[in-house]
Structures are given as structure tokens and as C-alpha cells.
Amino acid sequence: MSAIKKTVRAADAVIAALEECGRKPKTIAPYRRTYRALIAHLENSGAERAPAEDDCLGFLNEAAGTSLPSLFAASDSNKAREMRRPLALLVRMPSDGEVDVTADADLVPWRCPKRFVAAYDGYMADCVRRGNAPANMRAKRDAVRAF
């Protein structure tokens, strides 16, 4: 199977997984755009293998006009941030084609500084006790982590 066909198949699997878990078309649209652009890039470059992380990084840097050192590095570019997760899911997809699109969206694992672990854990536990919705929990978690 050609590199392009493998990439199309993998991209289709990600899109199907997103649809299956109830993501809205507006949420899926950036994935479709990223995958269409990646496939066009592969066709133009004559790729002979499915894209690995370094291939996706090169594509991302070229398409977003960035020079990120890693596919998982933080970026100020909106376009890079939009393209990063679809590419990461594609790269991390196991050979069986199963992909967990419900997993935490963090591309770079966050580590709480040791001196704040108790406060962070206590705050998050308190949010659970108050019955915060999952989306609210994610928003609060992301705000604390950004701080």
C-alpha cells in the first residue's frame, strides 16, 4: 500500500473516531483541513512512506511558518496549534488503526511542581466534590496548569 493510501486510511480512522465519540463538525473541521493539506504535501513531495513524526514536524513548520523543534513543542502560532493535535494523533496511531481521541489533549505531559502537588490535587478534588461538569473541570485544570 502506498504512503498516501496509508495516510488517507489513518486520517479517515481518526475522523471516524472523532465522529463516533460525538465531536461536532466544527471540531472536526481543523482535522480534515490538516489531513487534506498533509496528503497534498505528500503527493507533491512523492513520499514513499507514511509520515513519521519528523515528516509531520517538517510539514507543520512549513505550513504554519514556524520552526518548532518538536511536533509536541508549545507554539504561539494559531495555525501550528490547530494542526498539531491532528498530526500527533496520526503519528501516535498504532498499527491496528485504533486511536483514542478521547485521551487528554496535552501533547507534552504536564508535571506539577512538587511544592504545589498537594494544593493542585486538593483543588481538583474539591471541584469533583462540588460536582463540576467534565468540561468545567478541563477548563479549570488548563487554567491552573497555565498559571
Axis-axis angle for helices 25-45, 3-20 (nearest 10): 180
Average pLDDT over residues 70-87: 86
Q: Choose between 2 and 29: higher pLDDT.
A: 29
Say what the pLDDT of residue 11 is: 92
pLDDT > 70 in the chain, percent? 88
Residue 28: what pLDDT? 94
- Rounded Cα–Cα distance for residues 69 and 76 (Å): 13
98 or 41, which is more confident:
41
Domain ranges of the chain: 3-92, 114-146
The rounded percent of the chain whose pLDDT value lies above 90 is: 32
Q: Residue 35: is its pLDDT beyond 90?
A: yes
Is the pLDDT confidence value at 105 over 60?
A: no
pTM above 0.75, yes or no: no
